[in-house]
Amino acid sequence: MTERSYLINEIRDMLLDSGLFNSLHPADVLAAAGYFSISKYEPEQLICSEGEAGTFMCVIHFGAVSVCKTNSNGDTVEIAKLRKGRAFGEMAVLDGERRSASCVAVSDCTLVVLSRDSLEKMINESPKAAAKLVRAIAVAMSKRLRMVDGQLVEQQL
């Protein structure tokens, strides 16, 4: 087995382990894995900044990430702490807009990363796998939006 195919299999296992892509056939996850990379971050290391151009998304394989936004007073407020299996940056990788929040490693982190360029390449080279991957991302984002909607309603009661 070549080093490249070993890495692709390792990424496939990380993606399957996340649960985010459980709806995909393992062969589709393997096809998609070749477009992802692995990045490691140390505690307190900035992963992405609110307002910057969004060029990638991440799935947490190991560790925890703090998601923060700046409020109207200029204070940084943690809005979520994400752990293994959770994804962030999906909106930016899909729409290319600026980041809606900053993400900082809380601990040592291993992230599986998909860049916007790699997603475009996957769409051109492996459109069926890309469509299934984008659908899985959209479903995860939809679930998160429904959860936040429910939290907002509860806050107003």
Q: Which domains does the chain have, with CATH numbers?
A: 3-156 (2.60.120.10)
Residue 29 CB contacts under 8 Å (≥ 6 apart), including other chains: 12, 15, 16, 21
Integer Cα distance of 120 and 151 in angstroms: 34
- Closest alpha carbon to 101 in 137, 65, 135: 65
Instruction: Give the Cα separation of 6 and 22 in Å (integer).
Output: 21
pLDDT of 157: 62
* 62 close to 114: Cβ distance less than 8 angstroms: no
Mean pLDDT of 59-71: 96
Sheet holding 76-82, edge to edge: 46-48, 102-105, 65-70, 76-82
Q: Is 103 helix (H, G, I), strand (E, B) or coil?
A: strand
Q: What is the pLDDT of residues 11-26, one digit of tens each?
A: 999 999 988 888 888 8
Asked which of 111-115, 122-126, 142-146 is least confident by mean pLDDT, the reply is 142-146
